[in-house]
Structure formats: structure tokens, C-alpha cells
Structure 1
Amino acid sequence: MAVAATMVQMKIAILRHSIRGPRGSMMASAGSLGVLLAAGTIYLAFLEGDWLAVALAAWMLGWIVGPIFSGGDETLRPEYFSLLGLGPGRLATGLLAAAFAGLAPVISLLALAALVVAGARDGVVAALVAVPAMVLQVAVFVLLSKVTVAALGIALGSRLGAIGTGVLNGFILALLGQSWVIAVAFGQGGQIPEFVRYLPSGWGLLAVQGDYLALAAMAVLIVLLLAAWAALLTRRAGANRRSARGRRPMRAGTARQAVMAKELRTWTRDLVRNHQITFALAYGVFFAATPLLLGIPAMLPLAGPIFIAMSAAMTANSYGVDGTAHWLTLMTPGASDVRGRQLAWLVAVGPLAVLVTVAFTLAAGGPWPLVLAAMCALLGGGAGMVPLVSVYGLIPGIDPRNRGGNPLRTTEDEGSITGMAYLMLLLVALTAAPAVVAAVLFGWWGVPIGIVTGVLWYWGLGLLAERRLAAQGPELLQLMRTGRPPEGGTSAWKMPKMSKTHEVIVMLCWSFGAIPLIPQGILAAVFVSNGQLRHSWFLATYMPPGLRWPTAILMMLIGLAAMGTGAWLYMRAKQREKEPELPPVYD
């Protein structure tokens, strides 16, 4: 108990000192969203049927999937306590206790108050049973998350494991993105499968409804998960092993070829890179293929473009992930590795993108001009945006040689990495806009326009990144080495000073603006144009004929307005930071 109490105090102290600045704003935004979701969950407890069981299953899935992409909560890492001689059981118990000291468990506990509401409808006894059921249920959520992240971290210690987890993660996230397909596939959203009630997420609800053995089942599951986590923590301690395989020498005639060879070797040998590109490919394929469950092949041609955009988003912080290895470039007079990185990115992503795009478009029967134009523009845009965003918005990463037992965590600031990924998705998509518009208006003329714009994005954005790297190289190295910008400088990605209200507005606009823009706007317009009506939550498909297109266009405008509002507030605050402070005036 003393170990657990000490770890809880450490976690609270760290959180208390981290609620200032951008991270505090991120926590406030996440907390606001969590409270809204918790309120929605409690509301479902008043409805008839198994909607509450579905909501609890979604919470459990969020606990499992969310940490996979963020690296999990590692405020207290197991490595910190490796020299204390703690047994695996005591270490796991202490870390579990500390895991409850955080925003996510509190929000989940608030959502699980729905069990009390559901129990109160059946009487006082059921309401009293809901109290221990809440505690046990949130413990199950936390432990499932910890075991999943620990298992995947160990799996990423091998190339096969990295590829397998990439496919699994891409599949899960694609299904979440296409949840409307699953809802329609299960009886037009009106029938809930019986098995949902018997998932571990529903055991607390079963206990409230009179099946008291579910409480005992949760207690047993917690013990088993705790034992599994303790065993995985022991494996994690010895997870870092150096490969004894021989290395073929790299031969290159120019500096650019040397950078390209180094980057390609990294793409093939860095297990995190293996995981990233496999995830991007799996996400694109499964996202586009999921509507086939309903006999809808219209989204198949999107697999290649989605793969390209997701690959760019996953590698947006390429310089930050490489860490202090940047000093090699600085110590080579006249060297700049931007072009070499661009070529390596194209070699790693391009052939797969072409293969997937052609194969899936052939299966769907077109539209060829639109897809080929978008693919060419996106390849050039992605190759240009990756180094540009990386050098202008660099987020200090963990040196590959210093990565802990959790390879999923490549930086200490995972919230900023997530924001950078969303921004990259938007920016890369915008690079394809001219080619897509040309293909829609002029057919096959869009393809050469896509090629030309792709080349221009590749050359122009790469040139900007090259100049930034040459002018700010020492400052970027200082930022990567210490995690802090040089004295008097600021990080291009750091949230500028603004009021708490504006910070929350910016985060909400950037987080939710994509919902009306992409699914309710762009995707709904695709369904309306193909005559596919009355699809799950796509509002435009339910409107009368004369209002379908206006509704889809309105949703696009709302999404653009939300994201534009967030960008305007951000840029205005950024500009104010640059303005010199006026000296005080004395009477």
C-alpha cells in the first residue's frame, strides 16, 4: 500500500505542474468533450433497450484503441522504478493505483454513473449494487488499456509484430470511422446484437440488472489482467535488444543519394516506421472496403489517396523523431537532406499508393480521371508537406536510442503529435484540390494538372523546408536536444498565449470541424451524387430531393467556418506574440 500511495502522490504532483500552458489547454478541451460524452451516456440510461450497453462498449473500445495511437499514459514509466527492486506484482499494483489519478478515469467514472441511474429505475438494491459495479468497471477499462499497450509494445519489438499491430490498428480505426456501415449492417441501426450485453464492458450493467455473478466475474478479470500486466512489465524490462545481424555498407555517389539510402534503410529497419506505413496502408484499404458490407463499391477508389494522406500524417514529425542525429547534417558544410528525404518518402509510399489506387479503381470501375489526378497531386503534396511541417512545427521527440519499453511513444508531447497529424491530413488534402476540381470540370485534363501541381508542390514546399533548415538548423537542434526553443525564440507549433476561452474554442473548432466538413459534407455529397440515400447519420441523404445538395454544401461551409475560426484565433494570438511590448507609461 505504501508503494501505491507514493506513486499516486507522484502522479498527482506531476499532473499539478503540467496543467499550465498548451498541455493544460489540451486537457481542458479533452475534459469538456469527455463531460459531454459522459452526459450522453447517462442520458442513454433513461432509454429502453440496450443502448447503454452499446455506449459502455464504445467506452471500453476507446480505452483500448485510444492509447494505441497516443502511446498511453506514461506519466510514470515502469523504467523509473527498475532499480528499486520491486516485484512485478507490487510494481503493477502501484502503477494501477497511479493510473486512476488522471482525467480519463474520472471522466469514465462519471459516465459509469449511468449504472446508478439504470439501477435506480429497478429499485434501491440495484442502485446500491451499481456503486461497486462502477468502480470495478473502470478498473477493467484501465487494465484492458494497460495490457493492450504493453502487449503491443512488446509486439513492436519484431518486424512481424510491428506489421501485425499496424494492420490491427488500421482495421480498428477504419471500422470506427465507418461505424455507420456497421450500424446499417446490423439491421438499419434498429437492432443491437445480443452479444454486446455480455462483453466485459456490460458486466456492470448485468450486475445492476440482477446478475450478481457479474460482479465476481469482474473481480476475477481484474486479477487476471493485473497478473498479465505484471508479466508484460517483466518482459518490457528486457525488451530492448540490439540486432546482431550484419549491415550491408551503403554506397552513394552524392550527398542526396546518401541521405536517400539512409532514409530507405530507416524505413525498412525502424520498427516504428514499419508500424506507421503498415497502419496507413491498412487504414486506407479497410476504410474504403468497409462499405462493401452494404454492397457499396463507390469508396474503393479512395483507398490509395487515403493511404497517401495517412502516410504523410504519420511521418509529419520526421525530423523530431530522428532526434539529435540532425547534428550530422549541421557538421557537413553545404549539406541539406530535405531532397533526399523527399525521394525516400516517394520510394517508400509511391509504389504502394499506385498499386492500391489502380487495383481498387479497377475493381470499382472508375472514376479514372478523378482518382489519378488526386493520386499524382497527393504524392507530390505529401512529399513536400512532410519536411516542411516537420521543420516549421518540429515537436521534440525521444531519440531512437533512448526509447523506452513502449515503442509506441516517440515523443513526450503526444497531444501535439495528434494535432500535427490532423493538420497534415488537412494540408495534404488541400494540395489535391486544384487537380480534383480540374478533373471534375474537364475530365482527363485533370491528370496532367495533377502531375504538374504534384511536381510544383514537391519542388516548392521542399525548397521552403530546405531554406528553413539552412537558416534555423542550430535552433532546431537545440529544440530537439533540450525540448525547449533557444532563449528568445519560440516553437512554431507551440500554442500562443490567449485566453482560456479562446484556447478551448480553438481546440473544439479543430477537433470537431472535420465532422461537418468530411462525413456530413464531402462523403454525404458522394452518396447523394450516387443516389445512395438514407444512410445512418448522413443528414443530406435523408433530406427531400431539393435540399440534399444544399444540406451537403452547408455542412461543408460549417466545417470550413469552424476550422477557419480556429485558425484565425490561433494566427491572431501568434501575431500578438510577435508585437513588441510597449514600455509602461508613468505620470
Structure 2
Amino acid sequence: MAVGLTYATSHTLVRMRLAAFRHALKDQNRLTWIVGGGFVGLVLAGGTVWVAGRDNDILAVALAVWMLGWIIGPMFAGGGDETLKPEYFSMLPLPPRTLATGLLTAALAGVAPVISLLALLSLLVVGAQLSVAAAIIAVPALLLQLFCFVLASRLAVAVYGVLLQVRSGAVIAALVNAFILAFTAQGWALIVAFVSTDVQGTMASAARIAPSGWGLVAVEAAGRNDWPRALVALAGLLLLGTVMLVAWSALLVRRTTSSRAGSKPRRLLSATNARDAAAAKEVRSWTRDLLYGHRAVFAISYGLFFCLMPLAIGWKAMLPWAGPAGVVMAGSMCSNLYGSDGTALWTTLMIPGSARPDVRARQRAFLLVFGPPTLLITLLLTWWSGYASAWPLVLSVLPAILGGAAGLVVACSVYAAVPTTDAHKRSGNPLNAGENEGETMGIVYLMLVLVSLTAGPALVAALAWSWWGVPIGVLSGVLAWWYFGRLAARRLDRRGPELLMLLRHGRSVIGEIKRSNLEKLPRWRRATAGFCLGFAAIPLFPQAVVPAIFLLTGNDDTKSWFLALYVPAPWPWVVIVAMAALGVSMYTYGGLTYLRAKPARGDSAAVAAE
């Protein structure tokens, strides 16, 4: 009876998942992200299979990276794919494990699991090269490994969702995420510091000990006729999957049955004018909305971790830049403020003349949240670094980048708002922001570049005239704050109803009404534009900006994966300029493609009529 119910539930949920996927393919924007992500995934899967049999140590590390991607990927991509939310089935008389099994089976019917399965075929390649018995063992090993990947992803999102329900948990989750993301960029310093010999061998041993390497351990053991070890590895995967399934089932029960009790506001608004009321409302958003607080802690923590990790090898040159790095991340994380409001935007639009006070209030709240801590961090860490030459640079860049970020976050959130789930409709997975995770990530990447560029004039002035860069930085920050805020207020005042309709109905409905020129472009051009916006940061930042900083500060001994530091003089600067030009060109092409795809004026009238 129970088995039959589980089978029927799984079969129905798989059909629902496939139907939703077919519907998603009709949305050109989502189709572009699916195709682009699928192509990148196929390339990575092909590289994993190619490594199989040539160097099993590298393969073990690659599989660990795949599992790490499954675990942390959803945390930075809107909570992962939750087409079938558990809340949809809370009224059905389904046992928790039956529902969990059905949702897990439905989750396997997607692009990401198929690509991961292709990557795990590397275990079959390894087994075929060892013996027939090893090839046979590789089949259950890769299937169990895939189930563990998906279950680990679902369990991580569930645990993360529980943490985000309380303030302390949101802070902890932000710290963990910031450390993980910073480690992906600066982890080489920790590895060099703590693994001074045989880096590859040590990493491979650690990767085999991790659950991601148990399938490879089983295949290699079978190839040596070490059957106890092979069976223990397979049993470990099976046991781990069972434990994660049980834990996920328990968290699903909590998610679908818990209720939130209302509470009285701690302090009522006492403002006497629109300006003060808007400011008080924004400050309360940052202090009471756990997602707002999570983003603030994450941004500041990321700047700290990113610049503190090189201390492991005794390099202090990045310490002064922890504050500016935190501001850049804060600007990207807050690039969709009005999109986060959702349909609550109507409360602002219904008040005549409220656009300007609301925009300025959001800017002041941003500066109040991020200004004092980043300034304190900059002063303390610059003093700790001992680099006297860094003082005019960071004190010039910080005010410029603060003002630029405060201006760009409101302008971007008005001009390029992305529809998300309304706050009152958030599910038990607070990470899930709706169906536009790909578009949200594109805006985040673009903002990383735009906010960084606002520091350009101040940085150039500081490099050329030392302390004269400070007043230039303050002036450029004030101008960016005022100008971009003015643009956002005018746009909100003139096009507020259209923005509300976008946030209410989503991009697909608005696209049908506006008949956007973007849909008339060839698919290859849309895909190319999406690829450029998604990957332009690679040549621009790690291959141009970072090595340029290394060369300017005399720290060119740390080569890592920076191409410019491996070529002889004078070619490093040639490579840096070429990479910077490539990154800027990719961002320009992608941005212009989307910018030129504007609706005709007649279409705006149609939107207003709706």
C-alpha cells in the first residue's frame, strides 16, 4: 500500500514537473538562461569525463566541486528550482516521507540532474578502464552519488530556510555564505598556507574522504578486488542518502505545518511629514526584514573574508580594501529594492508626490546601514596593514563608491526591476524569489561592474595627486548619489504604474503586452547577450583588475590563476588591457542588446490601458 502510494505520488509529481518545464520553454527569457546554463554544464561535464582515467586525483577534486556546487549553488540563485513547492501539497493526506520521495523524484526530472549524471559517467569510464567488475560497480555508484547530490542540495536549502526564520540564524547563514563565496576566489591563500607540500595529493585525499568521493573509492576498490572497501563505500552512500531523506522529510513537515503568530509593532511611526515617514519605513525594513539583514551581513562579511584570507600567507596589501569590497557587494545585493517590494509598491504610488521622498529615503537608509561599518573597517584595516600609501587611495575610493552604490541601487531597481515573490507570499524557502532567478543574477553581476566603475575618477585622481583624490571622491560620490537618485525618482513618478504591473504579473505577461523587441531578436543573439553578461566578470576582474592591483602594489609573486602574471615584461600590462577590453566589450554588447530592445511608444499606451 505504502509503496503503491509512493509510486503514484512520484509519477504524478514527475508529470507535473515536466509539464511546468515545457511551459517554461515558452518563455524566451527563461529559455535563454536554460540553454546558456545547459551549454556551460555540458562543457563542464565533458571536461569531467575527459579527466576520468587520466588523473583520478583531479577527478576526485572535480566531483567534490560538483557536490559543492549543488549545495551552495541554490543559495546564490534564488533558492534553487522549486517549481513544485511543498506548500502546494500541505492539504493532501500524504506521509512526509512519501511527499519527500515524490519531490525528490520530480527534482531529478530537470536539466541540472541530467548534466550531473553525464558528469558522473566519469565513474563508469574509470571502472571500464580497470575491470569488468569495476564497471558494474560504477553503475550503482554513480546513481547513488547523483541521489546524494540532489538530496544534499535540497537539505541545504531546507536548513538554510530554517535559519532565515530567526535573526541569529540569518546572521549565521550570511557569515557561512560569505565565507564560502570568498573562499572560491581567495581560497588559494589558505591552501598555500596550510598545505605547503603536495597540494594536489592532499586535496585529492580530502576529496575521497568527502561523500562526493565515495563512488570513486568504490570503483577503484573494485578494480583492485578490494570488495569490503567497495561495499562499505556503496553502503555509506546509501546510508547517507537515507539519513538526508529522513532529515529533509522532517524539515518538510516543519515547513508545511508551522504558522507565524502576529505581533504588535515595537514602536509606531511618529513622523510628521513624507520625508521622515519614508525614512523611518526604510530603516525598519533593514532592521526587521530578515532578508534585508541577511544581505547586509553577507555583503560586509564578504568584504572582510575576501581581504582577510590572504593574511594566511602574510600578505596585508588587500586589508585596506575590505570596506570598498563590502560596498560593491552591497550594491549588487540591493540592486532590486523595488522588485523586493512586490505589489506593496502600490502604497507608494497611491500618494501623490511620494516618488522623490521614497527614493531619497532608500538612499539614506543604504548609506546609514553600510556607511559607518565600512568606514570603520577601512580605517582599522588600513592602519593594521601598515601601508601608508594606501590611505589616500582608500579614503578617496570609499566615499565615491558609497555614493555611487547608493545612487545605482535605486536607479537599477527602478529601470531594471525583476519581479520576485511578494513578502507576504514567501514560502518556507525564503531564498526562492520566483521564476526569474537567472535574470536576478544577471543584474547582480552587472551591478558589480557598475558600482566598481563609480570609483574610477577618485582612484585615478588619488594615484595621480595623492590626497587630492579625497575631495574628488567625495564630490563624485555626492554627484552620483544625487544624479542617479534623481533619475530613479523621475522614472518612478512617470512610469510607476507600469513598474507595479510588472511586479504584479511578471515578465511574461508584460512581455506579451509590450511586444518587446527583445523577443524579435534571433535566439543566438539573446543567448550571446546573456552569456556575455553572465561571464564578462571573469576577464574583467580576476584577469584584469586583480593582477593590475598586484603589479601596482609590487605583489606579482602571487601568480595563482592570473594569466598576466605568468608572461614576461612588458606583456603583463598588454594582457591586462586586453582582458579588461574583453570584459568591458562583453558587458557593453550584452547591455546594449537588452537596452535597445525597448517597447514602442504605442505599446506603453497599451500597458496603461490595461
Alignment CA distance shift 1:495-1:280 (3 Å): farther
Tell me by how many angstroms 1:505 deviates.
1.4
Work out whether residues 155 and 244 of structure 2, in 8 Å CA contact, stay in contact via their aligned partners in 1.
yes
List runs of 5+ in structure 2 lacking aligned partners: 1-6, 222-228, 604-610
Partner of 1:328: 347
Residue number among 353, 356, 361 corresponding to 2:377 in the alignment: 356
Alignment CA distance shift 1:285-1:356 (3 Å): same
1:181 matched to 2:205: no
Work out whether residues 190 and 313 of structure 2, in 8 Å CA contact, stay in contact via their aligned partners in 1.
no
Partner of 1:469: 492
Residue number among 231, 241, 258 corresponding to 1:222 in the alignment: 241
Counterpart Cα distance in 2 of 1:580 and 1:479: 17
Residue number among 15, 19, 24 corresponding to 2:21 in the alignment: 15
Tell me by how many angstroms 1:540 deviates.
1.6
Work out whether residues 32 and 526 of structure 2, in 8 Å CA contact, stay in contact via their aligned partners in 1.
yes
Counterpart Cα distance in 2 of 1:76 and 1:528: 50
Counterpart Cα distance in 2 of 1:183 and 1:439: 34
SS of the counterpart of 1:532?
coil
SS of the counterpart of 1:214?
helix
Mean alpha-carbon deviation: is it higher for 385-394 or for 5-14? 385-394
Mapping for residues 395-474 of structure 1, pairs under 5 Å:
395-474=418-497
- Write the letter of the residue equivalent to 1:469: L
SS of the counterpart of 2:202?
coil
- Write the letter of the residue equivalent to 2:559: H
Tell me by how many angstroms 1:321 deviates.
0.8
TM-score (norm 2): 0.91
- Write the letter of the residue equivalent to 2:132: V
Counterpart Cα distance in 2 of 1:140 and 1:516: 34
Residue number among 368, 375, 388 corresponding to 1:347 in the alignment: 368
Counterpart Cα distance in 2 of 1:151 and 1:326: 31
Mean alpha-carbon deviation: is it higher for 136-145 or for 532-541? 532-541
Work out whether residues 528 and 540 of structure 1, in 8 Å CA contact, stay in contact via their aligned partners in 2.
no
Counterpart Cα distance in 1 of 2:173 and 2:31: 31
Tell me by how many angstroms 1:558 deviates.
2.1
1:203 matched to 2:223: no
Mean alpha-carbon deviation: is it higher for 359-368 or for 96-105? 359-368
TM-superposition CA deviations, 1:126-151 (whole Å, max 9, x none) = 11211111111010000001001001
Partner of 2:147: 139
Counterpart Cα distance in 1 of 2:577 and 2:187: 23
Work out whether residues 397 and 411 of structure 1, in 8 Å CA contact, stay in contact via their aligned partners in 2.
yes
Tell me by how many angstroms 1:580 deviates.
9.0
Work out whether residues 543 and 579 of structure 2, in 8 Å CA contact, stay in contact via their aligned partners in 1.
yes
Partner of 1:559: 583
- Write the letter of the residue equivalent to 1:533: D
- Write the letter of the residue equivalent to 2:141: A
Mean alpha-carbon deviation: is it higher for 96-105 or for 504-513? 504-513
Partner of 1:585: none
Work out whether residues 323 and 399 of structure 1, in 8 Å CA contact, stay in contact via their aligned partners in 2.
yes
Partner of 2:323: 304
Partner of 2:116: 108
1:60 matched to 2:67: yes
Partner of 1:92: 100
Work out whether residues 23 and 415 of structure 1, in 8 Å CA contact, stay in contact via their aligned partners in 2.
yes
Work out whether residues 116 and 127 of structure 1, in 8 Å CA contact, stay in contact via their aligned partners in 2.
yes
Work out whether residues 57 and 200 of structure 2, in 8 Å CA contact, stay in contact via their aligned partners in 1.
no
1:393 matched to 2:446: no
Work out whether residues 539 and 580 of structure 2, in 8 Å CA contact, stay in contact via their aligned partners in 1.
yes
Tell me by how many angstroms 1:356 deviates.
1.3
Alignment CA distance shift 1:489-1:389 (3 Å): farther
Tell me by how many angstroms 1:251 deviates.
1.6
SS of the counterpart of 2:570?
helix
Mapping for residues 272-291 of structure 1, pairs under 5 Å:
272-291=291-310
SS of the counterpart of 1:410?
coil
Of all paired residues, the percent bearing the same amino acid is: 47
Mapping for residues 235-314 of structure 1, pairs under 5 Å:
235-244=254-263, 246-314=265-333
Partner of 1:51: 58
Tell me by how many angstroms 1:183 deviates.
4.6
Partner of 2:226: none
Alignment CA distance shift 1:179-1:510 (3 Å): farther
Work out whether residues 183 and 536 of structure 1, in 8 Å CA contact, stay in contact via their aligned partners in 2.
no
Mapping for residues 516-535 of structure 1, pairs under 5 Å:
516-529=539-552, 530-535=554-559
Tell me by how many angstroms 1:491 deviates.
9.8
Partner of 2:253: 234
Counterpart Cα distance in 2 of 1:427 and 1:277: 19
Size of the alignment, in residue pairs? 578
Tell me by how many angstroms 1:496 deviates.
4.6
1:370 matched to 2:393: yes
Residue number among 562, 567, 574 corresponding to 1:543 in the alignment: 567
List runs of 5+ in structure 1 lacking aligned partners: 582-587
Counterpart Cα distance in 2 of 1:225 and 1:136: 13
Work out whether residues 510 and 563 of structure 1, in 8 Å CA contact, stay in contact via their aligned partners in 2.
yes
TM-superposition CA deviations, 1:88-120 (whole Å, max 9, x none) = 110100000001000110010011111111112
TM-score (norm 1): 0.95
- Write the letter of the residue equivalent to 1:327: W
TM-superposition CA deviations, 1:503-544 (whole Å, max 9, x none) = 221122222221111111111122223133252211122222
SS of the counterpart of 1:252?
coil
- Write the letter of the residue equivalent to 1:54: V
Tell me by how many angstroms 1:486 deviates.
5.6
Work out whether residues 380 and 457 of structure 1, in 8 Å CA contact, stay in contact via their aligned partners in 2.
yes
Counterpart Cα distance in 1 of 2:397 and 2:448: 14
Partner of 2:9: 3
Counterpart Cα distance in 2 of 1:461 and 1:489: 28
Partner of 1:479: 502
Alignment CA distance shift 1:113-1:313 (3 Å): same
SS of the counterpart of 2:41?
helix
Counterpart Cα distance in 2 of 1:261 and 1:226: 44
Partner of 2:224: none
TM-superposition CA deviations, 1:201-224 (whole Å, max 9, x none) = 000000101232211111111111
Counterpart Cα distance in 2 of 1:471 and 1:384: 18
SS of the counterpart of 1:121?
helix
